[in-house]
Amino acid sequence: MEPSLLPIDILDAQQGFPEALAACKDLDGLMRLKGVYIGREGSHSARLMELLKAASKERKRELGGAINVLKNAWEEALKARQSELEAARRQLATFGNTWDPDLPPPIPARGAMHPLNQLIDRLVDVFRPLGYHVEEGPEIETEAHNFDGLNIPADHPARGSADTFYFEKYPELLLRTHTSPVQVRTLLRLAPHIQEKGGIRFLAPGRVYRKDEIDPTHSPMFHQVEGMLVGHDIGMHHLKGTLAYAMKALFGPAAEVRFRPSYFPFVEPGCEVDVRCPLCGGSGCRVCKQSGWVELLGAGLVHPNVLAYAGIDSNIWSGFAFGMGVERIAMMVSQTPDLRLFFENDQRFLKTMGGLD
């Protein structure tokens, strides 16, 4: 094409077009540029169309060709730039709609079950597969249930007001000193049905009270979990098998139990049960005082007098019972240094110790 065919201002515009196009950083600018070059009125191409109309017949053909080339070049370049800018805008829009996942998210509030309740529930779960259900009794008990029914002699020191809380207006009532009265209540209730039920087995968790001053290892209120089984021909081997199973379920397959003779009025024979230290695995540590064993609970075969009190024939039925201190195990397992933390209820303690179910 002959440049001379076109007016000088159009040639300038043509020369400046690539730069102007590149300078358009957004669609608004591009629309303005589009208006200047190929708009319907007043644009460079509108002026070219007027020129073409006014041109002589012989020049029309040549000029028309040149104008078309020019217009097409502008249009295509503008179109290409437009789709470029539109793509950029879309990308920007997408980006604007996305939340930066690294910003702190709203976290649902985390509460916690109390560690002592967690441990009790855990024990219930451990014994559930063996057919134990949960029995409970009141915290305010009678002397009959708390002592008499458990073969505890009338002059036993535990009955004294130095050890046991009594009530001002009801001399026969006390705050239970252990969960063992639940044995008495349950045996009394189930004795008439023991044959059809095929024995008795249950776990009795609960709060108990003893007249101890509050210090890092003592509390006037604490929790126990009592377990009892009555069946035919029950012996010490069944107690051992049951506790060995339970301790493995609680502490892992390496847990082992050890029996030592001991004495509780409501069992015969009686024993203390130690478990292989769950913290050091038996190699010796501060918790087990280097012995490799930690004392876990008291247990034994149900004393015939306890069965007799409930009207159960000890020639036909026999059983075992065990009782553990929940705080004791909780402190041992968690290495909590002070018992009082369990009753202070600082949320920081509860959240780290209790956790969720």
Show contacts with another protein in window 123-162 (CB under 8 A).
124, 128, 130-136, 138-140, 155, 157, 160-161
Q: What residue has token string 């009394």?
A: 188
63 versus 326: smaller Cβ distance to another protein: 326
CB-based contacts of 250, cutoff 8 Å, min separation 6: 122, 123, 126
The answer to whether residue 271 forms part of the interface with Zn ion (CB under 5 A) is no
User: Under rule CB under 8 A, which residues in 266-285 are in contact with another protein?
Assistant: 268-272
CB 312, CB 191: distance < 8 Å: yes
CB 181, CB 141: distance < 8 Å: yes
The answer to whether residue 5 forms part of the interface with Zn ion (CB under 5 A) is no
The answer to whether residue 113 forms part of the interface with another protein (CB under 8 A) is yes
- Rounded Cα distance between 47 and 52, Å, is 9
The answer to whether residue 238 forms part of the interface with another protein (CB under 8 A) is yes
Residue 328 CB coordination number (10 Å): 18
Choosing from 40, 61, 110, 286, the residue that interacts with another protein (CB under 8 A) is 110
The answer to whether residue 236 forms part of the interface with another protein (CB under 8 A) is yes
The answer to whether residue 112 forms part of the interface with another protein (CB under 8 A) is yes
Residue 166 CB coordination number (10 Å): 15
7 versus 241: smaller Cβ distance to another protein: 241
Nearest to 306 by CA among 322, 323, 288, 318: 318
The answer to whether residue 186 forms part of the interface with another protein (CB under 8 A) is no
Burial of 233 (0-12, 13-18, 19+ CB in 10 A): exposed
Which whole-number Å values give the CA distances from 247 to 3, 112, 336, 351, 357, in the listed order?
Answer: 100, 25, 20, 26, 20
Choosing from 14, 262, 334, 336, the residue that interacts with another protein (CB under 8 A) is 262
113 versus 279: smaller Cβ distance to Zn ion: 279
Q: Which pair of tokens denotes residue 295?
A: 């004392």
**The one segment of 41-49, 55-63, 75-83, 224-232 that binds another protein by CB under 8 A:** 224-232
The answer to whether residue 211 forms part of the interface with another protein (CB under 8 A) is yes
Q: Which pair of tokens denotes residue 19?
A: 């730069």
In the complex, minimum distance from the CB of residue 138 to another protein, in angstroms, rounded to a whole number: 5
Longest dimension (CA), the chain: 139
Q: Which pair of tokens denotes residue 28?
A: 């608004």
56 versus 345: smaller Cβ distance to another protein: 345
User: Under rule CB under 8 A, which residues in 313-352 are in contact with another protein?
Assistant: 318, 342-348, 350-351
The answer to whether residue 98 forms part of the interface with another protein (CB under 8 A) is no
Which of another protein, Zn ion, none interacts with 221 (beta carbon under 5 to 8 A by kind)?
Answer: another protein
**The one segment of 29-37, 68-76, 77-85, 258-266 that binds another protein by CB under 8 A:** 258-266
16 versus 131: smaller Cβ distance to another protein: 131
Residue 63 CB-half CA count within 13 A: 19
The answer to whether residue 333 forms part of the interface with Zn ion (CB under 5 A) is no
The answer to whether residue 93 forms part of the interface with another protein (CB under 8 A) is no
In the complex, minimum distance from the CB of residue 280 to another protein, in angstroms, rounded to a whole number: 18
Which of Zn ion, another protein, none interacts with 330 (beta carbon under 5 to 8 A by kind)?
Answer: none
The answer to whether residue 275 forms part of the interface with Zn ion (CB under 5 A) is no
Q: Which pair of tokens denotes residue 351?
A: 């959240």
284: left (phi over 0), alpha (psi -120 to 50) or beta: left
The footprint of Zn ion on this chain (CB under 5 A) covers a number of residues equal to 6
Which of Zn ion, another protein, none interacts with 269 (beta carbon under 5 to 8 A by kind)?
Answer: another protein
Which whole-number Å values give the CA distances from 146 to 138, 153, 263, 266, 311, in the listed order?
Answer: 11, 11, 17, 11, 17
CB 135, CB 226: distance < 8 Å: no
13 versus 119: smaller Cβ distance to another protein: 119
The answer to whether residue 357 forms part of the interface with another protein (CB under 8 A) is yes
Q: Provide the binding-site residues for Zn ion, judged by CB under 5 A.
A: 277, 279-280, 285, 287-288
